[in-house]
């Protein structure tokens, strides 16, 4: 009897131990915490955004009812939203078009292993570690129309002063310059990393073929680093779409919404004006646009990758 | 190609030097100007034309900024939130990345796609439901509300997976034959072999958390848990004319110093992590 119970207890214990170690060894256990957080703080909020974009929500008055596409109709007939959307697209294209080619140029320039190059690599990376708040205050100071150093520099070249952030024709441009300034160093570090992985034999072969430097660049360098473009374009596009701090600090979207971007608009509409349904409709438009850009980007890059 | 293309003939050398000078001017000058302004008197900071070097350096701007920003308080919050986030990511993202890089299991691909969701949708677009969720949980104005959502990072997981894949399977198999548990595998085999990328992504997390303004402004209203970027904001009065740029720049420099130190210390690891881990 006693022995029997003991062996039964033993087998239960063994069983629990086996289950326990199986659970501990299971890959699903390893991914569970990350997965739970991803669902809670990304996937579910995204789903709720989509749901609320079809509803009229007012937490104070206790209203929460389905309104169909009314929020979408409302924002797409709203001139302010349309301008903000246009600003965001312009901002995205300009920062990508400015920061990625310049980053490639800088990377090619600094690729060779020399002391000055390594120093400069480290130096141009510093804007990446400075907070947007510091970057914003610094550039606001430099872009001040009256005593800012940028206007002083323009004056040295005989150019007329600009009103930078204070003028609706230059405010968005000013933000584009600042955002690009902040990301070029980071982007070029990534390109340099890719350049250093190119096998030297390819350049040797190009040299034997008497390929011109430009030909070598287009036929060897560019195809070999094209995978990092997917990464760079995706992160730059997302960075551009999620820009908030610069707008909030430097212009508050002004003058007259000329520099307002989507996240800032969502923040104002949802957080300050409590138009949650409209804010969520804007968020869904932003998500869809981003998904489309990413899909296009991946498709183009895959094609290129197959091609080479 | 590089050696051939840029032979050390003097016009090319001159062009090179000019290029380096231009790069340094564009990227270093604003930082230099920030530091120089932080040492000026408030009258000199607003002079036209601006002076490049302070006429009489005033290091006391720093003690003044320290006091007026209540810097020590915000510094503590910034350090706490950054280190808690790093610790959380190490516990959450490293095992997860190991599973996706080195284990086989059902639904691996679709699960990985979902997990990389944040690489496509910026969290800034969906902050409102996150805010509502946190207020239901009572997490607004708490440190846990400020760090727990960031224990998961798609960028961190993606970077780690790319690097972990380069670790040879034979080493892991040998460890498994020796009866190595998954916890030991991660802490004793994976972590030492992948230390460059782990250091790199943790530096990025540190920088991200340290500099974060958006989430702090959304998820907190109480100065008790707010971090350094908010302290800078408190120095910016709505009235443009009243801004004391010298004090603001001193605050910026002080907030930057820990980042700079971390970056300089980890510079080598960051470069190594990138070269092996980035791309494909």
Q: pLDDT tens across A180-211, in order?
A: 999 998 898 888 888 888 888 888 888 888 88
Q: What percent of chain B has pLDDT over 90?
A: 42
Nearest to B24 among A48, A120, A286 (CB): A120
**C-alpha distance from residue A97 to each of A91, A94, A126, B27 (Å):** 10, 5, 21, 19
> Of A109, A197, A216, which is closest to B275 when you measure between CB atoms?
A197
Residue A212's pLDDT band (cuts 50, 70, 90): confident
- Asked if A283 and B31 come within 8 Å (Cβ–Cβ), the reply is no
CATH of the domain at B138: 1.10.3720.10
Compute the mean pLDDT over every residue in chain A, rounded to the nearest whole number. Answer: 85
Q: Are B186 and B95 contacting, i.e. CB atoms less than 8 angstroms apart?
A: yes
Q: Which of residues 173-202 of B touch A (CB under 8 A)?
A: 181-183
The residues in B 9-28 lying below 8 A from A, measured between CB atoms, are 19-20, 23-24, 26-28
Is the domain of A44 the same as that of A97?
Answer: no
Higher pLDDT, A160 or A114: A160
* The pLDDT of residue A2 is above 50: no
Residue A307 has pLDDT above 60, yes or no: no
More confident residue, B8 or A264: A264
Higher pLDDT, A112 or A81: A81
Can you give the residue range of the structural domain that contains A46? Answer: 2-52
Domain end among B214, B234, B254: B234
pLDDT at B209: 92
C-beta of residue A236 within 8 angstroms of C-beta of residue A96: yes
pLDDT of residue B76: 95
Q: Is the dihedral of CA A276, A278, A284, A287 positive or negative?
A: negative
Residues from chain B that touch A46, judged by Cβ atoms under 8 A, are 117, 121, 126, 129
Residue B30 belongs to domain spanning:
2-60
Which chain B residue shows the shortest CA-CA distance from A243?
Answer: B124
Residue A60 lies in a domain: no
| Count of CB atoms situated within 10 Å of the CB of B41 | 15
List Cβ neighbours of A28 (8 Å cut-off, separation of 6 or more): B105
In DSSP terms, A58 is beta-bridged to A63
pLDDT given for residue B225 in this prediction = 92
**Could you say which of B30, B151, B232 has the minimum Cβ distance to residue A142?**
B30
**pLDDT above 90 covers what percent of chain A?**
33
pLDDT in tens, B150-201: 999 998 999 899 889 989 999 888 888 888 888 888 888 999 999 888 988 9
Task: Say how many domains are in chain A.
Answer: 2
If asked whether residues A124 and A79 sit together in one domain, one would say yes
* Judgement on whether residues B153 and B176 belong to the same structural domain of the protein: yes
CB contacts, 8 Å: A129 with chain B: 207, 211, 256, 259-260, 263
Which residues sit opposite A271 in a β-bridge? none
pLDDT of residue B161: 93
Q: How many other β-carbons are positioned within 10 Å of the β-carbon of residue B112?
A: 16
**Are A45 and A177 found together in one domain?**
no
Residues B196 and B131 reside in one and the same domain: yes
Q: Are A24 and B248 inside 8 Å of each other by CB?
A: no
Residue A84 covered by a domain: yes
Q: Which pair of structure tokens corresponds to residue B58?
A: 């005033």
Is residue A110 located within the same domain as residue A21?
Answer: no
| Calpha distance B205→B215 (Å, rounded) | 14
Residue B97, in any domain of the structure? yes
A128 and A190, same domain (yes or no): yes
* Subunit contact B105:A194, Cβ cutoff 8 A: no
Count of domains forming chain B: 2
Tell me which of A119, A133, A251, A286 to substitute to probe the interface with B (most B C-beta atoms closer than 10 Å). A133
Q: Does A124 touch chain B (CB under 8 A)?
A: yes
Report the percent of chain A where pLDDT is more than 70. Answer: 94
> B30 at the A interface (CB within 8 A)?
yes
Tell me whether A105 touches chain B (CB under 8 Å): no
Mutation target to probe the A interface, by most A beta carbons within 10 A, among B71, B124, B235 is B124
Where is pLDDT greater, at B265 or A142?
A142
Do the Cβ atoms of B2 and A206 come within 8 Å?
no
Q: Is residue A281 part of a domain?
A: yes
In a domain, B137, yes or no: yes
Q: Do B136 and B102 belong to one domain?
A: yes
Predicted confidence band at B11 (pLDDT cuts at 50, 70, 90)? confident
Whole-number Å distance between alpha carbons of A34 and A40 = 10
Task: Name the B residues in 98-157 with CB < 8 Å from any A CB.
Answer: 98-100, 103-105, 108, 111, 114-115, 117-133, 148-149, 151-152, 154, 157
Is the Cβ pair A130, B256 closer than 8 Å? yes
Is pLDDT of A97 > 70?
A: yes
For residue B6, name the pLDDT band (cuts at 50, 70, 90).
very low
Q: Which range is least confidently modeled, A91-100, A172-181, A288-297, B247-256?
A: A288-297
Cα separation of B174 and B177, whole Å?
5
Inform me whether the C-beta atom of residue A127 falls under 8 Å from chain B C-beta atoms: yes
Q: Per-residue DSSP letters for B238-269?
A: SSGGG--HHHHHHHHHHHHHHHHHHHHHHHHH
Q: Is residue B134 part of a domain?
A: yes
Task: Establish if A185 touches chain B: CB-CB under 8 angstroms.
Answer: yes
Least confident of A81-90, A205-214, B102-111: A205-214
Check A41 against B218: CB less than 8 A apart: no
Mean pLDDT (whole number) for B250-269:
85
CATH code, domain with A100: 1.10.3720.10
Q: Is residue B54 part of a domain?
A: yes
Q: What is the mean pLDDT of residues B230-255?
A: 84
Q: Judge: B211–A149 Cβ closer than 8 Å, yes or no.
A: no
* Domain-located, residue A64: no
| Among B68, B67, B130, B265, residue whose Cα is nearest residue A41 | B130
């Amino acid at each position: 009897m006693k022995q029997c119970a003991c062996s039964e207890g033993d087998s239960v214990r063994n069983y629990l131990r086996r289950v326990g170690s199986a659970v501990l060894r299971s890959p699903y256990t390893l991914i569970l915490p990350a997965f739970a957080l991803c669902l809670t703080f990304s996937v579910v909020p995204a789903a709720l955004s989509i749901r609320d974009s079809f509803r009229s929500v007012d937490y104070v008055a206790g209203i929460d009812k389905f309104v169909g596409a009314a929020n979408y109709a409302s924002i797409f007939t709203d001139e302010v939203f349309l301008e903000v959307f246009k600003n965001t697209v312009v901002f995205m294209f300009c920062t990508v078009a400015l920061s990625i080619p310049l980053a490639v140029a800088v990377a090619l320039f600094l690729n060779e292993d020399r002391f000055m190059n390594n120093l400069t690599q480290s130096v141009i990376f510093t804007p990446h570690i400075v907070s947007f708040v510091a970057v914003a205050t610094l550039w606001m100071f430099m872009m001040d129309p009256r005593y800012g150093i940028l206007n002083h520099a323009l004056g040295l070249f005989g150019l007329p002063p600009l009103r930078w952030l204070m003028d609706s024709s230059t405010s968005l441009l000013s933000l584009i310059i600042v955002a690009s300034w902040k990301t070029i160093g980071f982007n070029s570090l990534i390109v340099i990393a890719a350049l250093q992985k190119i096998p030297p034999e390819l350049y040797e072969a190009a040299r034997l073929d008497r390929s011109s430097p430009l030909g070598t660049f287009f036929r060897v360098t560019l195809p070999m680093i094209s995978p990092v473009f997917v990464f760079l374009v995706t992160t730059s596009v997302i960075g551009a779409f999620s820009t908030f701090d610069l707008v909030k600090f430097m212009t508050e979207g002004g003058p007259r919404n000329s520099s307002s971007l989507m996240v800032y608009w969502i923040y104002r509409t949802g957080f300050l004006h409590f138009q949650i349904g409209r804010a969520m409709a804007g968020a869904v438009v932003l998500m869809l646009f981003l998904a489309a850009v990413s899909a296009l980007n991946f498709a183009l890059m895959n094609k290129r990758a197959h091609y080479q | 190609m590089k050696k051939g293309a840029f032979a050390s003939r003097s016009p090319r050398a001159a062009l090179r030097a000019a290029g380096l000078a231009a790069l340094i001017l564009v990227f270093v000058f604003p930082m230099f100007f920030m530091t120089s302004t932080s040492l000026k008197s408030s009258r000199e900071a607003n002079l036209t034309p601006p002076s490049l070097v302070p006429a009489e350096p005033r290091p006391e701007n720093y003690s003044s900024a320290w006091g007026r920003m209540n810097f020590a308080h915000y510094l503590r919050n910034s350090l706490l939130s950054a280190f808690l986030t790093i610790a959380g990511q190490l516990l959450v993202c490293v095992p997860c990345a190991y599973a996706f890089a080195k284990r086989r299991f059902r639904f691996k691909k679709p699960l990985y796609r979902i997990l990389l969701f944040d690489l496509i949708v910026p969290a800034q677009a969906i902050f409102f439901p996150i805010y509502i969720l946190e207020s239901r949980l009572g997490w607004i104005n708490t440190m846990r509300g400020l760090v727990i959502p960031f224990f998961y990072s798609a960028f961190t997981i993606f970077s780690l997976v790319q690097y972990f894949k380069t670790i040879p399977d034979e080493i892991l198999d040998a460890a498994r034959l020796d009866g190595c548990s998954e916890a030991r595998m991660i802490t004793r085999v994976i972590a030492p072999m992948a230390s460059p990328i782990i250091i790199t992504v943790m530096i990025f997390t540190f920088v991200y958390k340290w500099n974060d303004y958006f989430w702090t402004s959304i998820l907190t209203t109480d100065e008790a848990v707010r971090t350094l970027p908010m302290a800078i904001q408190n120095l910016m009065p709505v009235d443009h004319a009243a801004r004391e740029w010298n004090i603001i720049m001193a605050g910026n420099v002080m907030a930057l110093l820990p980042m700079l130190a971390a970056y300089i210390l980890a510079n080598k690891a960051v470069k190594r992590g990138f070269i092996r881990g980035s791309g494909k």
